[in-house]
Amino acid sequence: MSPTAESSQQAGQGPKARLSAPNVAIAGVTGAVGQEFLALLAERDFPIGELRMLASSRSAGKTIDFKGKTYTVEELTEDSFKGVDLALFSAGGAQSKRFAPAASDAGATVVDNSSAFRMADGVPLVVPEVNPQAVKGIELGKGGIIANPNCSTIIMLMAVTPLHRAANVKRMVVSTYQAASGAGAAAMAELEQQTRDVLAGDPVTQNVFNFQYAFNLFSHNSAMQDNGYNQEEMKMVHETHKIWGQAGEQKSAITATCVRVPIMRAHAESINLTFGKPLSESEAVAILKDAPGVSLIDDRSDNRFPTPLDASGKDDVFVGRVRQDISQPDGVGLDLFCCGDQIRKGAALNAIQIAELLL
DSSP-derived 3-state class of residue 269: strand
Q: Considering 151, 258, 338, 339, which one is annotated as catalytic?
A: 151
Contacts 24+ apart (CB under 8 A), 305-308: 305/337, 306/268, 306/337, 306/338, 306/339, 307/268, 307/339, 308/177, 308/179, 308/263, 308/265, 308/266, 308/267, 308/268, 308/339
Of 164, 258, 267, 338, catalytic: 267
338 vs 318: CA distance, rounded Å: 5
Quick check: is 258 catalytic?
no
Answer left, alpha or beta for residue 293, where phi above 0 means left and psi between -120 and 50 means alpha.
left
The CA-atom distances, in angstroms, between 23 and each of 86, 99, 213, 327 are 6, 17, 41, 54
- How far apart (Å, rounded) are the C-alpha atoms in residues 95 and 57? 12
- Check residue 359 and report its DSSP letter: -
Region for residue 212 given its phi and psi (left: phi exceeds 0; alpha: psi -120 to 50; beta: otherwise):
beta
339 catalytic residue (yes or no): no
Rounded to whole angstroms, how far apart are CA atoms 357 and 86? 12
Q: How far apart are the first and last CA of the chain?
A: 21
- For residue 147, the Cα-to-chain-centroid distance in whole angstroms is 9
Q: Could you tell me the CA-to-CA distances from 324 to 78, 81, 172, 208 in Å, in that order? A: 53, 52, 14, 40
> Residue 26 gets which letter from DSSP?
E
Q: CA 328 to CA 214: how far, in whole Å?
A: 37
Residue 150 near residue 174, CB atoms below 8 Å: no
Please check whether residue 341 is in contact with residue 154, taking contact to mean a CB–CB distance below 8 angstroms.
no
- For residue 237, give the nearest of 147, 118, 334 by alpha carbon: 118
**Residues catalogued as catalytic:** 151, 267
